[in-house]
Structures are given as C-alpha cells and as structure tokens.
Amino acid sequence: DQQVKQNSPSLSVQEGRISILNCDYTNSMFDYFLWYKKYPAEGPTFLISISSIKDKNEDGRFTVFLNKSAKHLSLHIVPSQPGDSAVYFCAASARNAGKSTFGDGTTLTVKP
Amino acid sequence: DTAVSQTPKYLVTQMGNDKSIKCEQNLGHDTMYWYKQDSKKFLKIMFSYNNKELIINETVPNRFSPKSPDKAHLNLHINSLELGDSAVYFCASSLLGSGNTIYFGEGSWLTVV
C-alpha cells in the first residue's frame, strides 16, 4: 500500500516557465509534508516543507500548496532554472510515527 | 564538514558474501535511518533507531542487521548477499518527531554479482 504517490515520473519545462510537481497521499494521519531534491550520485536534500495547519508555504522561487480535503500537495517552482533539474521526492510524516514516507520521485528537466 | 557520512560509496561483491556499510552523523540528532533505493528509484525506509534503540523495522529480511553503537552511528551489516540486494542504500538522521527534516548521506551503491 503506497501511501504517498507521485504519479508523474518525469516533467520537462522550459527555462523561465513554471514547474508544477504533484503528490497525493492516502493516510489522513499525516500532518507534515516535505519536498526533497536529489541530484545524481548524491543523497536527497531538504527543499521546503508545510505543516497540515497551513495551505501554502513559500520560500523564494519555491512554493508548496496543500489541499487537505483532496489529500494533495504540489510544489511550484517559478521561474524554473536549468539547475533545478533533479529528482524531486515528496515525503509525509505522522506525529510520533518515527519516519517519513516517500513518494516515487519525479524527474524534472529544465531546458535552457 | 559532512553532516551524514557513509562508507563505502561504491561496493561490488559476489553473492553469498557478507558486507557492512558504516554511517556517522555529526548533527547531534537522536534518530538515524537506513533507506533503500531500488532499481525503480523508490526510496523506502528499512530501519529507524532512536537513541540507539530500534523503533522501526520495515519487514526487512533477517540477513540485514543494523547496529547502533551510539547515537551518532548506525551501521548496516548484510549477510549472504543476494542479487536482489543490489541498490543504493542511504543513511539519514533527524531529530525524532513529525516534521523534522531528515538529512541524508550521499548513498552507498551496492552491486551484487
């Protein structure tokens, strides 16, 4: 049972445009959501997060939106830059669960 | 300074061998993890330790035995390696609790031939 899903394995956008990465979850106990970015041959690194008490969190070019009723969150990158090309993982955690559950990842390619 | 470091980064070994991957974190975190990324790129948790105690074991075969000598170290020992064990293994650490950022090591690429 995959509790966190990223249904788009890949996404390609033009430099300067908006990138939108989507993530769906099934466990209503999740109360914190994070996005990680991963370059080849490196470990995932934290990008941005959102608590379930919010519906939006913004950090520079990155904005995460949370729709709790739809159990859906999205990461917006605007404007997209070639250096944003990486694999993006969505992750969710529940209070006292002791772990984060990761999605399958979406490979973003930003073309110059 | 590397926050979460794991060694070796690359490991090629034959089926049936026993191997270990070491991990250390210098972030003062109380929780450490092992994640496995398989050929389909799924990132799945294997183990989680809090203050040297096992808190999560995600139905990993007994051939995998984590050991945490102290809060800053979590090593992974694998017995009788099988072809299907080939994957990238990521060590990670965090403070215990929902919403705390997990910091990952660079990964250990294990290839079983």
**pLDDT over 70 for what percent of chain A?**
96
CA distance A48 to A21: 13
Token couple for B15: 């089926």
Predicted confidence (pLDDT) per residue in A41-86, tens digit: 899 999 999 999 999 999 999 999 999 999 999 999 999 999 999 9
Mean pLDDT of all residues in A90-98: 82
B contacts of A101 (beta carbons < 8 Å): 45
Strand segments (E) across chain A: 4-5, 10-14, 19-25, 30-38, 45-51, 56-59, 62-67, 72-77, 86-94, 100-102, 106-111
Q: Would you call B39 an interface residue with chain A, using a CB distance cutoff of 8 Å?
A: no
Q: Would you call B25 an interface residue with chain A, using a CB distance cutoff of 8 Å?
A: no
CA distance A36 to A44: 6
B contacts of A93 (beta carbons < 8 Å): 98-99
Residue B1: pLDDT band with limits 50, 70, 90: low
Q: Which amino acid is at B76?
A: L
- Using only C-alpha atoms, chain B has a radius of gyration, in whole angstroms, of 13
HEC readout, B64-76:
EEEEEEECCEEEE
B contacts of A53 (beta carbons < 8 Å): none
User: Closest to B102 (Cβ–Cβ): which among A42, A100, A105?
Assistant: A100
Task: Using alpha carbons, select from A30, A29, A37 the residue that is nearest to residue A61.
Answer: A37
- In total, the C-beta contacts within 8 angstroms joining chain A to chain B are 65
Largest pairwise CA distance in chain A? 43
Mean pLDDT of all residues in A96-112: 88
Predicted confidence (pLDDT) per residue in B69-90, tens digit: 999 999 999 999 999 999 999 9
Interstrand relation of A10-14 and A106-111 (parallel, antiparallel or unpaired): parallel
Interstrand relation of A72-77 and B31-37 (parallel, antiparallel or unpaired): unpaired
- Residue B110 clears pLDDT 70, i.e. is over it: yes
Q: Would you call A100 an interface residue with chain B, using a CB distance cutoff of 8 Å?
A: yes
Token couple for B33: 């993890």
Average pLDDT in chain B: 91
| Closest chain A residue to B30, measured at CA | A98
Q: Would you call B42 an interface residue with chain A, using a CB distance cutoff of 8 Å?
A: yes
- Residue A96 clears pLDDT 70, i.e. is over it: no
User: Of the ranges A92-101, B4-13, B27-36, which one carries the lowest mean pLDDT score?
Assistant: A92-101
Q: Domain B4-112, what fold? A: Immunoglobulin-like (2.60.40)
End-to-end CA distance of chain B: 34
How far, CA to CA in Å, does B24 sit from each of B7, B32, B71, B90? 9, 9, 9, 12
- Residue B98 clears pLDDT 70, i.e. is over it: no
Q: Would you call B98 an interface residue with chain A, using a CB distance cutoff of 8 Å?
A: yes
Domains, chain A, in order of start with CATH, read 4-111 (2.60.40.10)
Q: Would you call A8 an interface residue with chain B, using a CB distance cutoff of 8 Å?
A: no
Q: Which amino acid is at B88?
A: V
Q: What is the pLDDT of residue A94?
A: 85
Predicted confidence (pLDDT) per residue in B19-74, tens digit: 999 999 999 999 999 999 987 778 889 999 988 888 888 878 899 999 999 999 99
Residue B35 burial (C-beta neighbours within 10 Å; 0-12, 13-18, 19+): buried
